[in-house]
Structure 1
Amino acid sequence: MAEIILTVVVEVVKCLAPPAYREISYLRESKYTSNLQNLKTEVDNLKYERESLLRQVNEAELNGEKIYENVENWLAGANNVIVEAEKVTDKATASERCFGGLCPNLKTRRELSKDAGRQKEAVVKVRGDGKFDRISYRTAPEDIRLIPNKDYEPFESRLSTLRSILSALEDRDVNMLGIYGMGGIGKTTLAEEVARKVKSDKLFDQVVFVEVSQKQDIRKIQGVIADKLGLKLHEESNEGRAGRLCEGIKKVKKILIVLDNIWENLNLGNVRIPLGDGCKVLLTARSLNVLSEKMDCRTNFPVGVLNEEEAWSLFKKMAGDYVEGSELEEVARNVAKECAGLPVSIVTVARALRSKSIREWKDALEQLRRPSSSNFKDVQPAAFKAIELSYNKLGRDDLKNIFLLIGYTAIASIDDLLMCGMGLGLFQGVNKIEEARNRVHTLVRTLKASCMLLDHESFLDEELFSMHDVVRDVAISIASTERNVFTATDEQVDGCREWSDGSAIKHCTSIVLHDIKTNLLPEVLECPQLEILFLRGGGREPSSLTIPNNFFERMIEVRVVNLTYMYLQSLPSSLGLLSNLRTLSLCYCGLPDLSVVGDLKKLEILRLRGSTIKKLPVQVGELTWLKLLDLRDCCYLEVIPPNILSKLSHLEELYIDQSFRYWEMEVGGVKNASLEELKHLPNLTSLELHVYDVSTLPRGLLLEKLERYSIRIGDDEESNGSWCREFSLDLNDKICLKDSLIVQLQRIEDLELRGLQEQDVDYIRNELVKVGSSHLKRLRMRGLDPALSSAESEV
Structure 2
Amino acid sequence: MAEFILTIVVEVVKCLVPPAYRQISYLRESKYTTNLQNLKTEVEKLKSERVRTEHQVDEAKRKGEEIEENVENWLAMANNIIVEADKFTDDEAIANKRCFKGLCPNLKNRRRLSKEAERQKEAVVEVRDARRFDRISYCTAPQDIRLSSSKGYEAFESRMPTLRNILSALEDPDVNMLGIYGMGGIGKTMLAQEVARRVDSDKLFDQVVFVEVSQNQDIRKIQGEIADKLDLKLGQESESGRADRLCEGIKKVKKILIVLDNIWTGLHLWAVGIPHGDGHKGCKILLTARSEDVLSREMDSPNNFPVEFLKEEEAWSLFNKKMAGDSVEGNELKEVARDVAKKCAGLPVSIVTVARALRNKSVREWRDALEKLGRPSLTTNFISIQSNAYQAIKLSYDNLQGEDLKKTFLLIGYTAIESIDELLMYGMGVDLFQGANNMEAARDRVHALVSTLKASCMLLDHTSKNEEFFCMHDVVSDVAISIASTRNVFTDTNEQVDGCREWSDGSAIKHCTSIVLHGIKTNLLPEVLECPQLELLFIRADPWESSSLTIPNNFFERMIQVRVVNLTDMFLLPLPSSLGLLPNLRTLSLCRCSLLDISVVGDLKKLEILCLRGSMIQKLPVEVGELTWLKLLDLRDCEELEVIPPNILSKLSHLEELYIGRGSFDNWEAEVEGVKNASLEELKHLPNLTSLELDIHDVSTLPRGLFLEKLERHSIRIGDRFWESTNIWCREFRLRLNNKICLKDSLIVQLQRIEDLDLRGLQEQDVDYFLNELVKVGSSHLKRLYMRSSHLALNPAESEV
TM-score range, shorter chain: over 0.9
Deviation track 1:60-101 (CA, whole Å, cap 9, x = no partner) reads 222222222221111111101111222221232333222244
Partner residue in 1 for 2:139: 138
Match of 1:413 in 2: 419
The one-letter code sitting in structure 1 at the alignment partner of 2:4 is I
Cα gap change, 1:11/1:698 in structure 2, threshold over 3 Å: closer, same or farther?
same
Compare 734-743 and 604-613 and name the one that shifted more: 734-743
Aligned position for 2:779: 773
- Find out whether 1:426 has 2:432 as its counterpart: yes
TM-score under structure 1 length normalisation: 0.97
Tell me how far apart the structure 2 counterparts of residues 570 and 693 of structure 1 sit (CA, whole Å).
Answer: 32
Percent identity, aligned pairs only, is 74
Do the aligned residues in 2 keep the contact of 1:489 with 1:514 (CA within 8 Å)?
A: no
After the TM superposition, which segments of 4 or more aligned residues of structure 1 sit over 6 Å from their partners? none
Counterpart position of 2:459: 453
The answer to whether the 8 A contact 2:220-2:239 is kept is yes
In 1, the alpha carbon distance for the partners of 2:225 and 2:63 equals: 19
The reply to whether residue 159 of structure 1 matches residue 157 of structure 2 is no
Assess if the C-alpha contact under 8 Å between 2:556 and 2:581 holds in 1.
yes
User: 788, 791, 798: which one pairs with 1:785?
Assistant: 791
Deviations 1:144-199 (A, max 9, x none): 21131333221111222212212222222222111111111111111111112222
Deviation at 1:664, TM superposition (A): 1.3
Q: Structure 2 CA distance, aligned partners of 1:131 and 1:661?
A: 42
One-letter code of the match for 2:111? R
SS in 2 for 1:260: strand
Match of 1:650 in 2: 654
Q: Is the 8 A contact 1:489 1:513 kept in 2?
A: no
1:693 is aligned to 698
One-letter amino acid of the structure 1 residue matched with residue 268 of structure 2: N
Question: Per-residue displacement from partner, 1:682-701 (whole Å, max 9, x unpaired)?
Answer: 00000001112222211133
Distance 2:242 2:557 in 1: 44
Letter of the 1:586 partner, please give it: L
Matches within 5 A, 1:5-44: 5-44=5-44
Task: Tell me the amino acid that sits aligned with residue 677 of structure 2.
Answer: N
1:258–1:281 Cα contact (<8 Å) kept: yes
Deviation at 1:541, TM superposition (A): 7.3
Distance between the aligned counterparts of 2:649 and 2:144, measured in 1?
42
**Is the CA contact 1:728–1:753 (under 8 Å) kept in the aligned structure 2?**
yes
Alpha-carbon distance between aligned partners in 2 of 1:775 and 1:319, rounded to the nearest angstrom? 39
Match of 1:426, SS state, is coil
In structure 2, the residue corresponding to 1:212 is in which secondary structure?
strand
Q: Secondary structure at the match of 2:245?
A: helix
Tell me, in whole angstroms, the C-alpha distance in 2 between the residues paired with 1:544 and 1:95: 91
SS of equivalent residue, structure 1 residue 745: coil
1:506 aligns with 510
Question: Which residue matches 2:255?
Answer: 254
Partner residue in 2 for 1:549: 553
Quickly say closer, same or farther: Cα 1:599–1:347, change in 2 above 3 A.
same
Determine helix, strand or coil for the equivalent of 1:503.
helix
Equivalent residue number for residue 63 of structure 2: 63
Alpha-carbon deviation of 1:116?
1.8
Equivalent position to 1:593, from 594, 597, 601:
597
Superposition pairs of residues 315-394 of structure 1, within 5 angstroms? 315-316=319-320, 317-375=322-380, 376-394=382-400
2:207 corresponds to: 206
Correspondence for 1:480 among 482, 485, 507: 485
Residue identity in the other structure for 1:503: S
Amino acid at match of 1:444: V
For residue 179 of structure 2, give the secondary structure of its aligned residue in structure 1.
strand
User: 1:536 is matched by which residue type in structure 2?
Assistant: R
Shift, 1:649, TM fit: 0.4
- Name the residue aligned to 1:471: 476
In the TM superposition, residue 419 of structure 1 has moved relative to its aligned partner by 0.7
Equivalent residue runs for 1:716-735 within 5 Å:
716-723=721-728, 724-735=730-741
Distance (Å, rounded) in 1 between the aligned partners of 2:103 and 2:251? 77
Determine whether 1:289 maps to 2:293: yes
Question: Quick check: 1:615–1:637 contact (8 Å CA) kept in 2?
Answer: yes
Contact 1:291–1:297 (Cα < 8 Å) also in 2: yes
Tell me the secondary structure at the aligned position of residue 482 of structure 1: coil
Structure 1 residues 743, 284: CA separation in 2 closer, same or farther (over 3 Å shift)?
Answer: closer
Q: Residue 193 of structure 1 aligns with which residue? A: 194
Secondary structure, aligned partner of 1:220: helix
Deviation (angstroms), 1:783: 0.9
Q: Residue 612 of structure 1 corresponds to which residue in structure 2?
A: 616
The residue aligned with 2:541 is: 537
- Matched residue SS, 2:538: strand
C-alpha contact (below 8 Å) 1:384/1:474 kept by paired residues: yes
User: Conserved in 1, the CA contact under 8 Å of 2:379 and 2:385?
Assistant: no
Check whether the contact 1:456–1:465 (CA below 8 A) recurs between aligned residues. Answer: yes
Contact 2:245 2:273 in 1 (8 A): no
SS at match of 1:445: helix
- The Cα of 1:540 is off from its aligned counterpart by 6.5
1:489 Cα deviation from its structure 2 partner:
9.7
Q: Which moved more, 1:474-483 or 1:598-607?
A: 474-483
In the alignment, structure 1 residue 661 sits paired with structure 2 residue 666: yes
User: Are the structure 2 counterparts of residues 113 and 278 from structure 1 closer, same or farther at C-alpha, using a change threshold of 3 Å?
Assistant: farther
Question: What CA deviation, in whole Å up to 9, does each residue of 1:411-465 have, x standing for no partner?
Answer: 01111111111111100101211111111111111111111111113488x8211
Q: Distance in 2 between matches of 1:368 and 1:489?
A: 24
Structure 1 counterpart of 2:529, one-letter code = L
Q: Deviations over 1:549-575 (max 9, x none)?
A: 100001111111111111212101000
What is the deviation of 1:491?
A: 9.3
What whole-Å deviation, never above 9, does each CA across 1:661-686 have from its counterpart, x for those lacking one?
A: 21112111111111111111000000
Q: d(CA) in 1 for partners of 2:721 and 2:762?
A: 14
Q: Following the alignment from structure 1 to structure 2, what is the Cα–Cα distance between the partners of residues 254 and 10?
A: 74
Say whether 1:705 aligns with 2:695: no
Q: Which residue, 621, 626, 633 being the options, matches 2:625? A: 621
Is the CA contact 2:503–2:525 (under 8 Å) kept in the aligned structure 1? no
Match of 1:313 in 2: 317
Query: The residue matched to 1:242 in structure 2 has which SS?
Result: helix
Does the 8 A contact of 1:746 with 1:773 survive in 2? Answer: yes
- Structure 2 counterpart SS, 1:635: coil
Q: Deviations over 1:722-741 (max 9, x none)?
A: 23100012222211212245
> Aligned partner of 1:345: which letter?
S
Aligned CA distance change for structure 1 residues 33 and 486 (closer, same or farther; 3 Å): same
CA drift of 1:490 comes to 11
| Pair 1:50-2:70 in alignment | no
Matches within 5 A, 1:261-280: 261-275=262-276, 276-280=280-284
Deviation at 1:597, TM superposition (A): 0.2
1:435-450 map, 5 Å: 435-450=441-456
Deviation of 1:11 after TM superposition, in Å, equals 2.6
**Which amino acid in 2 is paired with 1:124?**
V
- What corresponds to 1:174 in structure 2? 175
Which ranges in structure 1 are unaligned for 5 or more consecutive residues? none
Aligned position for 2:752: 746
CA–CA distance in structure 1, aligned partners of residues 724 and 182 of structure 2: 43
Q: Please, which moves more after superposition, 695-704 or 663-672?
A: 695-704
SS of residue paired to 1:629: strand
Structure 2 CA distance for aligned equivalents of residues 154 and 458 of structure 1: 25
| Cα displacement (A) at 1:757 | 0.9
Label 1:428 to 1:363 Cα distance change in 2 as closer, same or farther (>3 A). Answer: same
Secondary structure at the aligned position of 1:633 is classed as coil
Deviates most, 610-619 or 158-167: 158-167
Aligned partner letter, 1:34: T
Structure 1 residues 431 and 495 mapped into 2: Cα distance closer, same or farther (>3 Å)?
closer
RMSD, aligned CA: 1.8
Residue 742 of structure 2 aligns with an amino acid whose one-letter code is C
Matched, 1:715 2:720: yes
Q: Which amino acid aligns with 2:181?
A: Y
Q: CA deviation at 1:396?
A: 1.4
Which segments of 5 or more consecutive residues in structure 2 lack a partner in the other structure? none
Counterpart among 759, 767, 772 of residue 761 in structure 1: 767
CA offsets 1:700-747 (integer angstroms, 9 cap, x no match):
331111000011121243135223100012222211212245451010
